[in-house]
Amino acid sequence: MKDSNRYGVAIASVVWRADELYRIVLVRRQDGAVALIEVPDDLVKDLVRFDRTAVLKNRWSLEAVVRGHLANAVFSRDVEFGKSGLENGSVKAELGNLRRFNSVLLGVDIGEFDLKPRYLWN
C-alpha cells in the first residue's frame, strides 16, 4: 500500500488578490512553506478574475502546470500566507474548494500533490 504522506503533500490553489489573478500557490502541508507558480499565458484569459467555474473548466491544464513545476519548485517560509492557508482549509484540498490565505488573497483549490524527497530539500 502506498503511503501518500511519506514525503509530504503540497496543496495547489489558483489565487486572486482582490479579484485580480495572483498566481498558483503551492503550500506544503507539513510546514506551511510556499512556492509560487506563474499562470501560463494561455490560461490567464480564463482566470483573469476570480472564477471557480474557470478553475473547474481548466482542471487538466492546471494540474499539468503544477506537476510540471513540482521538480523545480522553491519553497520558502518567508511568505506569511502559507500557514494561514492551511489553517483556513485544513481539510483535503479538493478541486473547487475555496481557500482564504489572508484578508485579500482568496484561492480555489486545484488539489493535493504528493511530494518526492527532492521537493523537500529546499
Residue type, 100: R
| Angle of CA points 73, 15, 77, to nearest 5° | 45
Q: What is the pTM of this model?
A: 0.86
Q: What value does the mean pLDDT take over residues 108-115?
A: 93
DSSP state of 76: B
pLDDT tens profile 58-107: 999 999 999 999 988 889 876 677 887 887 655 788 999 999 888 889 99
| The residue to which cell 485544513 is assigned | 90
Q: How confident is the model at residue 51 (pLDDT cuts 50, 70, 90)?
A: very high
H-helix or E-strand containing 66?
helix 59-70
Give the three-state DSSP class for 96: coil
| CA gap 15, 17 in Å, rounded | 7
Q: What value does the mean pLDDT take over residues 25-30?
A: 90
| CA gap 122, 105 in Å, rounded | 25
